[in-house]
Structure 1
Amino acid sequence: MTITTTLTRHRIPLTIDGTEVRLSCISREGSGLPIVFLHGFGSTKEDYADVALHPAFAGRPIFAYDAPGCGESECSDLEKISIPFLVKTALAALAQRGIERFDLVGHSMGGLTSLMLAHQHPAMVASFTDIEGNVAPEDCFLSRQIFLHPDEDPDQFLEDFISRNWSAPFYSSPLYATSVRYKVRARAVRGIFESMVDLSDNADLMGKFLALPLPRMFMYGEQNKSLSYLAHLASHGVVLAEIPHSGHFPMYSNAPEMWRRIAAFQAGAQEPSPATETARA
C-alpha cells in the first residue's frame, strides 16, 4: 500500500434512518491502525487535518468527516440530527470505508458520539482519546444553553449563542464563536443539544466510560482542571492529559501539546502495559 502525507477530500453518500446524508470527508491511506476523528459542535474535520503533517503519525491511515448539518456535509432533514443519529452515521461511514478497528479521537460533541460508539461496539476501538467529551451533567455548559436561553427561532438562538461564547473568558472562545455560524446549520442545533443534555443527565455516561475495556485518555484544558470528576477518572485507570494555556479547544489554543499527548497515548496503548503511558506523559 502506498503511504502518503497528503489528505484526500471526498464525499460519502449515506441513508441514516431514512434521511439522506452526504458526508464531506478527509482521509489518507497508509499502514497500521487507522485513526478516526470526530469533531465537536461548531467545528469541522479540519480541526484534525494537521495530523497528516506530524511525524509521530507518519504512514498511519486517517479518516475524519464533517458531521451531518456541520461543515460541508449535507443532511436532508436537519431536525433528525441527534447524538444517536451521529453514532449511526459514524458506524455507516466506517463500514463504507472498510474500517473495522481503529484508534478513536473525539472532541466535545464528537467525544460523546465516540463514547456511545465505543460503548456499543468496544471491539472496534483500540484506544479512545476523549477531548472534553461529555461524561457528566456538568459538561453541558454549551449544550444546556438550549434550555437556559431558549428561543423558538433557531437562527436567533444561534446568533445569541455566538454572542455569549464570543465574550466568554476562556482560551479560543472568540475564535471558536466567530466561526460557528459558518460551520453548523441553525436547524441542526436543537436536536444535537437536547440529546447531549439528555444523555449527560440520564444515561450514566461516566459508568459507560469507565467500563470500556480499552485504553482511555481524557484530555482537558488547563482552564477546566476544576472538573469534579478528574480524580475519579484517574482512580479508574483513565490517563489524564491536561493541556496548558487551553480551555475547551486545545486544537486551537495549544495544538502542539495536544498532538504530542495523543501520539504518546496511542503509542503506549499498543504496548503490553497501559501504565507505560501514564509514566511517560
Structure 2
Amino acid sequence: MPSPQIKLIDIELRNRTYQLEYFRRPGHKGTILFVHGLGGAKENFWEATKTHLLADYELIGFDNPGTGNSTYYADEPLRVDDLAFFLDAFIKQLDLKDIILTGASMGGLITLLYFQSAGVDHVKAYVNIEGNLMPEDCMFSSKVVQHSYEHFASTVFDETIKNMKKYGNAGYYIIANNLELNTNVQSYYHYSFQTVSYSSTGKLLQQFLALEIPRLFLFGEKNQHLSYLPQLKGENLSCHMVADSDHFIFYDNPKGMYQSMANFLDEV
C-alpha cells in the first residue's frame, strides 16, 4: 500500500487565513474523507491507512482548527458552523467528488451541517460513527457548557483529562492524551456550545434518516443503550455494532470498525 503524505491547505474565513494539516493516501476505488470529533484529530483514523480492508481507497483526514497542527486564533472563537464551512472549503479546494464522507462524534454533526448547506452532490455514501444526533450524544460537551470559560480552562479541562485517563478504556486514554498535547482549550470550550444546542432538538436525527444516499451508522458495543437505535434499525440504512468498543471505536476496535465500513462500501 502507498504511504500517506502529510500536507497543508490554506482556507480563508472572515479575512483570516487558516492553515489545516491533513493526510492523504492515494487510492483508485473512491475517496473516504474522515472528519474527527471534539478533542480528536486526523490521527484518529491513521489505522485506516494500514489496513488491507481499505487498501484500494483514497483516504483523507484533516485537523480542525484548534486541534493538532491546524491554526486557531485566540481572539476569534470558532463555532461548529465554522467547521462545516471549513469542510465545504476543503472539499472544494481539493476538488473531491463521489466522497464517502465519514464523521465521528462531533464530526457527525459537522458533516450533517455540511449537508444542510452544500447538499449531497459531492457525496456518494455517508458513514456516521456515533455522531451527534440527540441530546444523549453530548456526553462531553454537555458538561463543558455548565462552566464559565475561565473556570473550565483553569480547572475543568485538566479534570476532564484526568478522569478520561482513569476510565479504563484505551480510546478514552488516547483521546485524553490528545486533549493534553494537541488541543486548544478555547476551541474545545467554544465548539461544545453548538454541539449541545444542535443536538437538543432531534432535528439531526430526522435529517440523518431523510438523507437519500447510502448510510451506515456505527456504534460501540458498550453503547447499545442509545435510545434511537431501534428507529435507525427500522429505516432503510445500515446500522452496525462494533464489538469490544466504547465511544472511540477507531481506537478500541479499528479492525472491527474498518471491516464494517468495507462490508458497507462493497454494497454501495
Q: Structure 2 vs 1, CA of residues 214 and 99 (structure 1 numbering), >3 Å: closer, same or farther?
A: same
2:149 aligned with 1:147:
no
Give the structure-1-normalised TM-score.
0.88
After TM superposition, the structure 1 stretch with the greater mean CA deviation from structure 2, 150-159 or 192-201, is 150-159
Q: Structure 2 vs 1, CA of residues 194 and 214 (structure 1 numbering), >3 Å: closer, same or farther?
A: same
Q: Structure 2 vs 1, CA of residues 245 and 13 (structure 1 numbering), >3 Å: closer, same or farther?
A: same
Whole-angstrom CA distance in 1 between matches of 2:257 and 2:223: 15
**8 Å Cα contact 1:103/1:126 also seen in 2:** yes
Whole-angstrom CA distance in 1 between matches of 2:207 and 2:253: 29
Per the alignment, residue 45 of structure 1 pairs with 42
Q: Counterpart of 2:59 in structure 1: which amino acid?
A: I
* Residue 105 of structure 1: how far off its partner (Å): 1.1
For CA contacts below 8 A with separation 6 or more, give which structure has more relative contact order: 2
RMSD: 1.9
Percent identity, please: 26
2:6 aligned with 1:9:
yes
**8 Å Cα contact 1:44/1:65 also seen in 2:** yes
Per the alignment, residue 276 of structure 1 pairs with none
Q: Structure 2 vs 1, CA of residues 82 and 174 (structure 1 numbering), >3 Å: closer, same or farther?
A: same
Within-5 A mapping of 1:175-190: 175-190=174-189
Pick the aligned partner of 2:131 from 116, 130, 133: 133
Aligned length: 266
Deviations 1:20-52 (A, max 9, x none): 210011002332321100112222111112222
Q: Counterpart of 1:137 in structure 2: which amino acid?
A: P
Whole-angstrom CA distance in 2 between matches of 1:149 and 1:170: 26
Pick the aligned partner of 2:25 from 20, 28, 40: 28
Q: Structure 2 vs 1, CA of residues 78 and 245 (structure 1 numbering), >3 Å: closer, same or farther?
A: farther
Whole-angstrom CA distance in 2 between matches of 1:151 and 1:86: 20
* Residue 136 of structure 1: how far off its partner (Å): 0.5
**8 Å Cα contact 1:170/1:223 also seen in 2:** no
**8 Å Cα contact 1:38/1:111 also seen in 2:** yes
Within-5 A mapping of 1:119-268: 119-120=116-117, 121-150=119-148, 152-156=150-154, 157-168=156-167, 172-202=171-201, 204-268=203-267
Whole-angstrom CA distance in 1 between matches of 2:129 and 2:196: 17
Q: Secondary structure at the match of 2:133?
A: coil
Q: Counterpart of 1:144 in structure 2: which amino acid?
A: S
Runs of 4+ that moved beyond 4 A: none
Q: Secondary structure at the match of 2:33?
A: strand
Whole-angstrom CA distance in 2 between matches of 1:146 and 1:139: 13
Whole-angstrom CA distance in 2 between matches of 1:65 and 1:179: 15
Q: Secondary structure at the match of 1:226?
A: coil
**8 Å Cα contact 1:43/1:70 also seen in 2:** yes
Within-5 A mapping of 1:110-121: 110-120=107-117, 121=119
**8 Å Cα contact 1:79/1:191 also seen in 2:** no
Deviations 1:52-77 (A, max 9, x none): 22223223222111111001111234
**8 Å Cα contact 1:79/1:187 also seen in 2:** no
Q: Counterpart of 1:248 in structure 2: which amino acid?
A: H
Q: Structure 2 vs 1, CA of residues 85 and 151 (structure 1 numbering), >3 Å: closer, same or farther?
A: closer
* Residue 175 of structure 1: how far off its partner (Å): 3.2
Q: Structure 2 vs 1, CA of residues 51 and 215 (structure 1 numbering), >3 Å: closer, same or farther?
A: same
* Residue 150 of structure 1: how far off its partner (Å): 4.8
Per the alignment, residue 272 of structure 1 pairs with none
Whole-angstrom CA distance in 2 between matches of 1:17 and 1:60: 34
Deviations 1:209-259 (A, max 9, x none): 111111111111111000000010111222111111110011111111011
Whole-angstrom CA distance in 1 between matches of 2:128 and 2:261: 10
After TM superposition, the structure 1 stretch with the greater mean CA deviation from structure 2, 226-235 or 60-69, is 60-69
Structure 2, unpaired ranges of 5+: none
Per the alignment, residue 67 of structure 2 pairs with 70
Q: Secondary structure at the match of 2:111?
A: helix
**8 Å Cα contact 1:30/1:60 also seen in 2:** yes
After TM superposition, the structure 1 stretch with the greater mean CA deviation from structure 2, 40-49 or 136-145, is 40-49
